[in-house]
Amino acid sequence: MKNSRINGVLAPVVTPFRADYSPDAERFVRHCQWLLAQGCAGLAVFGTNSEANSMSVEEKADLLDALVAAGVPAAKLMPGTGACALSDSIALTRKAVALGCGGVLMLPPFYYKGVSDEGLYRNFAEVIERVGDARLQLYLYHIPPVSAVPITLGLIERLLKAYPQAVAGAKDSSGDWSNTQAMIEAFGPSGFDVFPGSEVFLLQGLRAGGKGCITATGNVNPAAIDNVYRNWRAKDADALQAGITATRKIVQSVPMIPALKATIAHYADDAEWQRLRPPLVELTAAEKKTLIDGLEADGFKMPGIESVACPVH
C-alpha cells in the first residue's frame, strides 16, 4: 500500500447543515469537488473541523456514500472514524474500508481522561483486528488540545510493531513542533507518514521528512497551501510559506470552525454555509467583520467557490 498512500495537502472538510441541523450532502459534495479541483491531495472528512463528533455514525456513513456516488475517488478520502465507543469506531472504519477509502484518521476514545497506553493500544488493536482487512490504512490522530487524550510515541511504537501494514501514519495537531519532529524521526524511516495539523508547519515538516499537512484552512485556501507543498524545494519556498502562514493567522483570529464556514458563505454568497451544529455557534457580526476585513486586506480569493452554493431546499 505504501506507494499509493495519500501525500500532500488534505482538508478536514467542514460539514454544511440544513436549518434542521441535518447534514447537507449536496453542499458537502460540491465543497469536496471544489477542494480536489483546487489541488487538495485528499479529503480528511469527519475531522475536528468537520464537526464530525457532532454527527452519528449513520449520518457519516451516508455522507461517505454520497461522496462516492457523486464520483469523488474513494482513494482520496481519509475519513475520521475514531469515536469514544469501540463499536462505533469499528462500524465506521469497516464502512470506510469497504468503500475503498485511502485511509482513516482515528481519534483515540476521548471521554475518559488519563487512560493508559495499554487501554489505548487495546482500542486500536481491536479496531484493526475486527475490521480485519488488508486494505486498512490507519492514521493516528493526536490532538491533545481538544481530545485531551494524547497518542504517545510509545503507543505508536507498539502499534507499528504489531500492525506494520495497517498503521500508516499520524496527524499531529498538538501544535508542538518538537513532538512532530520526534514522530518523524522515530517512525518516518519505517514508512510512517506524519502530517502536521496546520500549514504553519508545512515547510518545516516537509524538510524534516513529513508528508504534507492536514489543515483547517485547507478548506478555504487550498491552492496556496498546495503551492507550498509542490514547491517546497524552490528558492522562494520560505516566502510562499510566509504567505500561507499570514492567511492562517487572519482566519484563526476568530474561532476557527465558524470562521471557515463564514468564509465559504461570504465568498460563495451562500448564507446557508454559516450554520453550525450545537454545541458550536456561528461567528458574531463583529467577528465576521474582523475576519472578512482581514481577508480582503490580504487580497484573499477563492476562485470558483460559487460552485458550492445551492438553492435552499
Q: Are 168 and 143 in contact (CB under 8 A)?
A: no
Residue from 19, 69, 118, 152 touching a copy of itself (CB under 8 A): that is: 118
- Examine residue 85 and tell whether it contacts a copy of itself (CB under 8 A): yes
The dihedrals phi and psi of 308, each to the nearest 5 degrees, come to: -85, -5
**Cβ closer to a copy of itself: 118 or 269?**
118
Positive or negative CA dihedral for 115, 191, 12, 174? positive
- Examine residue 277 and tell whether it contacts a copy of itself (CB under 8 A): yes
Residue 149 cell numbers, joined: 487524550
Task: Return the axis-axis angle of helices 222-230 and 237-251, rounded to nearest 10°.
Answer: 150
- Examine residue 122 and tell whether it contacts a copy of itself (CB under 8 A): yes
- Examine residue 148 and tell whether it contacts a copy of itself (CB under 8 A): yes
- Examine residue 108 and tell whether it contacts a copy of itself (CB under 8 A): yes
Burial class (CB within 10 angstroms; exposed 0-12, middle 13-18, buried 19+) of 298: middle
- Examine residue 281 and tell whether it contacts a copy of itself (CB under 8 A): yes
Q: List Cβ<8 Å contacts ≥24 apart for 146-152.
A: 146/48, 146/173, 147/107, 147/108, 147/110, 148/110, 148/113, 149/108, 149/109, 149/110, 149/112, 149/113, 149/115, 149/120, 150/174, 151/108, 151/120, 152/117
Closest CA to 170 of 126, 135, 132, 205: 205
Q: What is the smallest separation between the CB atom of 158 and a copy of itself, expressed in angstroms?
A: 14
**Cβ closer to a copy of itself: 17 or 232?**
17
Return the number of other C-beta atoms located less than 10 Å from residue 312's C-beta. Answer: 9
- Examine residue 120 and tell whether it contacts a copy of itself (CB under 8 A): yes
Residue from 36, 66, 86, 223 touching a copy of itself (CB under 8 A): that is: 86
**Cβ closer to a copy of itself: 152 or 307?**
152
Give the contact letters, 293-312, x = binds to a copy of itself (CB under 8 A), - = no.
--------------------
193 bridge partner residues? 169
**Cβ closer to a copy of itself: 58 or 238?**
58
- Examine residue 152 and tell whether it contacts a copy of itself (CB under 8 A): no
Half-sphere exposure of 171 (CA within 13 A, CB side): 33
**Cβ closer to a copy of itself: 48 or 221?**
48
**Cβ closer to a copy of itself: 147 or 181?**
147
Residue from 147, 198, 217, 263 touching a copy of itself (CB under 8 A): that is: 147
Residue from 47, 80, 109, 169 touching a copy of itself (CB under 8 A): that is: 109
Q: What is the smallest separation between the CB atom of 108 and a copy of itself, expressed in angstroms?
A: 7
Q: What is the smallest separation between the CB atom of 74 and a copy of itself, expressed in angstroms?
A: 24
Q: What is the smallest separation between the CB atom of 139 and a copy of itself, expressed in angstroms?
A: 18
114-141: string of b/e by CB count within 10 Å (b at 16+)? eeebeebeebbeebbeebeeeebbbbbb
Is the preceding peptide bond at 222 cis, omega within 30 degrees of 0?
A: no
For binding to a copy of itself (CB under 8 A), which residues are involved?
21, 48, 53-59, 84-88, 91, 108-113, 115-116, 118-120, 122-123, 126, 145-149, 277-281
